[in-house]
């Protein structure tokens, strides 16, 4: 039997003005994990699954780094495909807002 880290995974990110929400799906597109880095711009929290920690997130880059590190700590560091959704009308700046990017 294979574990979540043994198959292709999809990491989906939804970045807002003060948070980054995430979901991880397996190769069959079954959701296996959700999380959120909240409070970007100040003291924040990172919740990944049922684990919640308090961290400072001065900017989105720091929050994203914390998310990727937490995923790596759980053995979920090799996502071959990453989708993203930009809020606040950022879709207007994308040629095709529905496409996915290979990492």
Structure tokens at 38: 């909240």
The model's confidence at residue 27, banded by pLDDT at 50, 70 and 90, is confident
The reported pTM is 0.72
76 pLDDT more than 70: yes
Listed by start position, the domains of the chain span: 4-102
The mean pLDDT value for 43-63 works out to 94
Over 50: is that where the pLDDT of 63 sits? yes
CB neighbours of 46 closer than 8 A, spacing ≥ 6? 35, 36, 37, 38, 52, 53, 55, 63, 66, 67, 70
Q: What is the DSSP letter of 97?
A: T
Does domain 4-102 match CATH 3.80.10.10?
no
């Amino acid at each position: 039997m294979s574990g979540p880290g043994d198959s292709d995974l999809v990491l989906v990110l939804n970045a807002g003005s003060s948070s980054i929400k995430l979901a991880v799906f397996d190769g069959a597109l079954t959701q296996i994990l959700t999380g959120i880095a909240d409070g970007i711009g100040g003291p924040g929290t990172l919740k990944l699954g049922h684990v919640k920690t308090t961290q400072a997130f001065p900017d989105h880059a720091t929050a994203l780094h914390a998310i990727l590190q937490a995923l790596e700590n759980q053995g979920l560091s090799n996502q071959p495909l990453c989708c993203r959704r930009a809020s606040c009308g950022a879709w207007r700046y994308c040629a095709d807002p529905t496409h996915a990017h290979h990492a």
